[in-house]
Amino acid sequence: MQLSKMLAERGMTSGMVYATGILKGHEAARMVADFKAQETIHADHVRVITEAENWQPRPWPGE
């Protein structure tokens, strides 16, 4: 069931809504931000590992 339908059935059509078992807006926003951060961390981790696997030492100057 969609959240909007569930709230409408209870007569909650405007204003701030807090209900047991329903996330507050700031909690949902925090969870989304955490999820996006994990995606970024994974992508950076893969990039670093790939660069390390393909690493070649550079010659010393004058060699």
**DSSP output for 19-57:** -TTS--HHHHHHHHHHHHHHHHHHHHHHHHHHHHHT--P
Residues of the chain short of pLDDT 50, as ranges, are: 20
Note the pLDDT tens digit of each residue in 33-49: 888 887 777 788 888 88
pTM of the model: 0.38
Q: How far apart are CA 60 and CA 41, in angstroms?
A: 33
Domain ranges of the chain: 22-55
- pLDDT value, residue 16: 59
